Amino acid sequence: MIVSLLARAAHTNKMLIVLYALLCFASLSILWSVTEGISGPYKVTDPGVAKAVFWRQVIWIAAGWVALLVAARVPLNLLEESSPFIFLGAVLLLLMVLMFAPEVAGSRRWFALGPIRLQPSEPAKVAMLLVLARMFGRSDSSGRQLLPVAGSLVLAMVPMVLVLREPDLGTSLVFVAIWLGLVFWFGLSWVVLLSVGSPLLSAVLSFYSERIVDSPWPWGIYLLVLLLALYVGRFRVMESFFLVLANIGSGIGTSVLWAGLKPYQQARILSFFQPELFRYETGYQAIQSKIAIGSGGLFGTSYLQGTQKGLAFLPERHTDFIFSVVGEELGFVGAMLLLGLFMAIILKGLAIARAARKPFNSHLAIGVVTYFTFHVLVNISITTGLLPVTGLPLPFMSYGGSNFLISSFMLGLLVNIGSRSFET
């Protein structure tokens, strides 16, 4: 039995490392294209993105392999026991970046260490995941569930609020996603999950009613459907009362939240719903991204020959919108192959989480899976116009050191857990 488990773990680990290597190769290939001019009738030699971006990514990938190997070998017991201190250190770094980091374009997100910029919100994701996996792993999911869930929510809110203050809305949502993934894996009842999810939907529909269509009916119809669902589901009176109260409160609270957003954040959200009104402003990125992906067709415009990329119509093509370059130059087939690599990592991660016998290891694995799933879904949804622009990178593909190192470390944790599935 143990030999079979070890053989399966070794196969899983090899598969993850091969997938990682393929994504590293894909990143360098696309970044080389982004930093090259296009030939032909356009004769554009300046791509608008310096070749140094490619060479810096080579360095980050080399460092990423080191991060992966370290995470794959570090004793998980050591991470579990030291997670409170790691979390405290991450929170202190987030506080320091708010107080001492230079302001760039209205945000305080990075420490400059010579030519290197450190983004503390990235290691904070790992720190929060470790401490929450420790909390859920040591709690009894069959007993009182609300106490550890409430405690975990308080912990998750600390880095989320600090990152939101930078401000960085996209990254702050990653903390929420990881928390929700862990709560679901912990075994919280669907009633409680509905209590968490339905107020979020209420807030979205309330905003849509007030800011987009200027009519109360979308939100009103939702509340009527909610009341009907509570009646059919035979919820208790007190549960129904507090759930409806939470939905109404979140719907009304959207006005307060809206007033607290920065003007550029408000514009990004509005441009998602009405991009044609912001085609030369905040809606420009989403429109150009959809043009790039759409022009790729089935097999793409061919490598190095993307005009949206080469003529610099597509902004942030080496970071947040790198998937648009894949869609333009490699087409639907290339985009699906790239998504297949991410899907394989996610499915392997789920298998590792299910096989892990130790609760801490299992929760840690599902947190890593949630991290990758959220980043990939949100980034691709942004590039295809399904979500507002929030500035989340595509793991292993987008240019940038902090996220690449943390994503590599996260994958290394999966490799580590997969090799210890027999531990209890």
pLDDT tens for each residue of the chain, 424 residues long = 444 544 555 556 889 999 999 999 999 999 999 988 776 665 666 777 888 999 999 999 999 999 999 999 999 999 999 999 999 999 999 999 888 878 776 677 877 776 677 888 999 999 999 999 999 988 866 655 667 777 888 899 999 989 888 878 788 889 989 998 998 888 766 666 666 678 888 888 888 888 877 888 888 898 998 888 888 877 778 778 888 888 898 888 888 888 877 787 777 777 667 666 666 666 677 788 888 888 888 888 888 888 777 666 788 888 889 999 999 999 999 999 999 999 999 999 999 999 998 999 999 999 999 999 999 999 998 898 877 777 789 999 999 888 999 999 999 999 999 987 666 6
Show Cβ contacts of residue 1 under 8 Å, excluding neighbours closer than 6 positions.
Answer: none
Q: What is the pLDDT of residue 2?
A: 42
| pLDDT of 291 | 85
Tell me the residue type at 43. Answer: K
Contact 309, 328 (CB under 8 A): yes
Whether residue 33 contacts residue 328, with contact meaning beta carbons closer than 8 Å, is answered with no
DSSP code string of 182-244:
HHHHHT--HHHHHHHHHHHHHHHHHHIIIIIS--SHHHHHHHHHHHHHHHHTT--HHHHHHHH
First to last CA, the chain: 15
What residues does each domain of the chain span? Answer: 2-418
Distance separating alpha carbons of residues 331 and 325, to the nearest angstrom:
9
Question: Would you give the DSSP letter of residue 118?
Answer: E
**pLDDT value at position 279?**
66
Predicted TM-score of the model (pTM): 0.85
What CA–CA distance (Å, rounded) separates 35 from 353?
39
- Please report which residue ranges of 278-389 form alpha helices under DSSP H: 284-296, 307-310, 322-355, 359-383
